[in-house]
Amino acid sequence: MSSDLSTSANSPLDSAPLSFEQKLANYADLIVQVGAGLTDEGPNAGQRVLVQSPVETAPLARAVVDAAYRAGASFVDVRWDDDAVVYSRFAHAPEGSFETISKWRVDAELEVAQSGGSVIAIRATDPGLLGSVDPARVTAHQRALANYRRPYSQIQMSNRLNWNLVSAPVPAWARLMFPELNETDAVAAQWDAIFAATRADQPDPVGAWKAHLALLKTRRDLLTGRQYGALHFTGGGTDLTVGLAEHHIWGGGSALTQPGPGKGGLEFTANIPTEEVWTAPHRERVDGVVVSTKPLSYNGTLISGIRIEFAQGRIVNASADQGEATLRQMIDTDEGSHRLGEVALVPNSSPISRSGLFFYNTLYDENAASHIAIGAAYKFNVQGGVEMTSEQFLALGGNESLTHVDWMIGSAEINVDGVGKDGSHEAVMRAGEFVI
């Protein structure tokens, strides 16, 4: 199977280059139609939509609102975020105040989800925003927020609503990506990179995405059929065996909503862009050492040079060249954050990897390299998992946690073998590329 997942029936050379306004409109349509999967027909027509957006990405948020109404949404609301306000709190608020959260912000998500609506999140921030503040403050807040947000997270991680995560340029992030450019040119360059990564710069982006999603479905179905007992990663200082949950299912590309607050059966794509196929590790069957191949931007802090050792599924040693204190506090969120909740395979030749750009944003960087995530597993990655109790899910190897953080371990040096339940090995990836 080809490792190039960017094939499209339409080439940008077939027509004149698109204007910025055309590409922005394409992007908004992709977010609404391919991402959230909004439709004006059938039992899921007329959904309510919540858009979450930084104030700096207001032009995209407004375009998404317009596209959502054109796609049949009955009511679209926007919840605004602001980096400057976030920084002021963590820099200046008194000690002991960081477990206080804005419950209304979470309640808005839960209200929409419980009404059978859709949530679209534009996540864009300065990757170094909180690098100068005490990480304990951020950790205290994140733990309190995640705990209060658990009911919404359980709906989201069970695919019981159609949700979508995207991003857009903000000046501080653009300057970090393109330090050689002035702010205006850096933002323009970042827009170009995002449009290319999301295929919004193509004449028929929705058609291009349909072809791309079909390729991802072929790959995930192939891997699900193999039912490996484990994956073995080697190369570049990594020697890691990741056992896989019993009756695991590989995800990738689009998914169908499960019966829940909504009517179910609606096709959506949670992340744009996406180049990965992923599944649930077995929480007690991960052993060995893994080394990160790209930095991780986490809660405004850059963490690089990560090296983690696992024994019987649990992290027993962790270090980083930069941001080690933040890494350790992230791992110490709860018991589940000492274990894995996701393992994902991405070819080294993915469009984002080929661009040579580091985005300082997991949404993009995880689609340039194979990766793992500490914390919660998705219940839909286990057959029948959405209907399971926590005890049943854990018994099959699934993991539960207040957090879920992806970080990159793939490169052109990494080989991956599928390990059969009889101990046999089959090559899955060689030098970062699929060979099955």
Cis peptide leading into residue 273 (ω within 30°): yes
Question: 392: domain CATH number?
Answer: 3.40.1830.10
Give the gyration radius of the chain's Cα atoms. 21
* CA contacts within 13 A on the Cβ side of 340: 33
- Tell me the pLDDT tens digit for each residue of 334-389: 999 999 999 999 999 999 999 999 999 989 999 999 999 999 999 999 999 999 99
Cross-strand partners of 411: none
The pLDDT assigned to 15 comes to 57
Amino acid at 24: L
Asked if residue 131 is part of any domain, the answer here is yes
* Residue partners of 354: CB distance under 8 A and separation at least 6: none
* Per-residue H/E/C for 267-336: EECCECCCCCEEECEEEEEEEEEEECCCCEEECCEEEECCEEEEECCEEEEEECCECHHHHHHHHCCCHH
Q: Which two tokens stand for residue 213?
A: 């999603």
As given in the structure block, the two tokens for residue 270 are: 């949670």
Task: Give the list of residues 6+ apart from residue 276 with CB closer than 8 angstroms, or none.
Answer: 252, 344, 345, 346, 366, 367, 370, 371
Residue carrying the six token digits 């590790």: 281
Pairing of strands 277-279, 340-345: antiparallel
* Residue 324: domain span: 12-434
343 in Cβ contact with 372 (< 8 Å): yes
pLDDT at residue 2, rounded to an integer: 19
Structure tokens at 292: 């990160």
Least Cα distance to 51 among 99, 130, 122 occurs for 122
| Residue 188 belongs to a domain | yes
pTM: 0.86
Number of domains in the chain: 1
Residues 414 and 423: their CA atoms lie apart, in Å, by 20
Instruction: Output the CA torsion sign for 28, 145, 116, 363.
Output: positive
Task: Assess if residue 1 is contained within a domain.
Answer: no
All residues at 6 or more sequence positions from 271 whose CB lies less than 8 Å from its CB, including other chains: 164, 165, 166, 363, 367
Q: Of 35, 167, 55, 163, nearest to 109 (Cα)?
A: 163
Spans in the chain with pLDDT lower than 50: 1-14
For residue 253, being part of any structural domain is answered with yes
Look at residue 3 and tell me if it is in a domain: no
Helix axes 58-70, 20-29, angle to 10 degrees: 60
pLDDT, tens digit (0-9, with 9 covering 90-100), for 215-268: 999 999 999 999 999 999 999 999 999 999 999 999 999 999 988 777 789 999
Residue 7 confidence (pLDDT): 29
Q: Kindly report the CA angle at 390 between 388 and 395, in degrees rounded to 5?
A: 85
In a domain? residue 4? no
For helices 150-157 and 135-148, give the axis angle rounded to 10 degrees.
70
Residue type at position 268: F
Query: Could you tell me if 35 and 268 are in contact, meaning their C-beta atoms sit under 8 angstroms apart?
Result: yes
Question: Does residue 196 fall inside a structural domain?
Answer: yes
Asked if residues 411 and 369 have their Cβ atoms less than 8 Å apart, the reply is yes
